[in-house]
Amino acid sequence: MEFKQLKIFLEKKMRMSHIYQPVMILNLLMRGGESDRSEIAEYILSFDESQIEYYEKVVDNMVGKVLRKHKIVTKEKSKYNLNDYTQYSKEEISELKYICRLKIQDFIDKRRNVWEHRKKSSGYISGSIRYEIFKRANMRCELCGVSNKVKALEVDHIIPRNKGGSDDFSNLQSLCYSCNAMKRDKDDTDFAQMRKMYDDRDSDCLFCNIDESSIIIENELAFCMYDKFPVTEYHILIIPKRHVSNYFDLFQPELNAVNQLIQKTKKLLDRKDSLITSYNIGVNNGVDSGQTINHCHIHLIPRRKNDTANPAGGVRGVISDKQSY
């Protein structure tokens, strides 16, 4: 393409939903007109603020913490320094670089088979989605609970793509490398049967036969609607689509799905009513807890100043004489 044509494309014809096009062209211009796919990907990644923020946390809380403990590096504000670097000769620096590259390559070789498997079975998960999954999990493995400070985290499909799992946010989870490898090697769950279970409905259940016009927001596995007998204005119910009576019987993807809707509906209500200052979240599990509809549902109840004389104790009020303490 001639210079003028490329200039016109950049200035007038290029339609951008992200920064990827100009970043790729810039990378090619900087590398003499030719660049490997992996080099372009790395360059795009350098512009992804969500990933930069995530790896800044990795630097400080994982690798930087370990290297400071061993007195390899020191840190002042955001700057890291390799201790005694100025005392190394050029030959010593070259030898250390060589050892680092050997260690990196050895690690890559050991992980190559795992990565290839993930590419085939899991599909591609973008950097921004990975960051959101890690953030939702508070930078922890959602199975064993280990922090990213201890083990590297990965994003995994709960129901694998090659078993029919989708890329929906609710079907993704944060796993440490150990749990993900263990799940891959030993999980013999019949995922086809699990998918069928998500379609379970009860013809006599109110929530299994809800009028679609009542649904405010939904995702693959759950939906939300206004409570018909609200405790406060905009009282919302978050309901799994599968007919399941108890919160404790929800599958992990359903827990992800209802939590996602809790966050979304809260933001919706915050925009809708500026007088909302707090929320109660509650679930009735079983007749003795007060459950009247035998289909799991979570109450999101917006609260406002002075909506009750004494709010202290909150959900403790399910047993009235225990609310105040």
Which residues are designated catalytic? 297
CA distance 243 to 222: 11
CA distance 139 to 130: 11
Q: Let me know: does 173 contact 252? Beta carbons within 8 Å.
A: yes
Joined tokens for residue 212: 């679609």
Q: Let me know: does 118 contact 150? Beta carbons within 8 Å.
A: no
Mention every residue, 6+ apart, whose C-beta is less than 8 A from residue 271. none
- How many Cα atoms within 13 Å fall on the side-chain side of residue 196? 5
Residue 278: its H or E element = strand 276-283
Alpha-carbon distances, residue 299 vs 169, 229, 265 (angstroms)? 22, 12, 11
Q: E strands within the chain?
A: 73-76, 79-82, 153-157, 172-176, 217-218, 222-226, 236-240, 276-283, 298-304
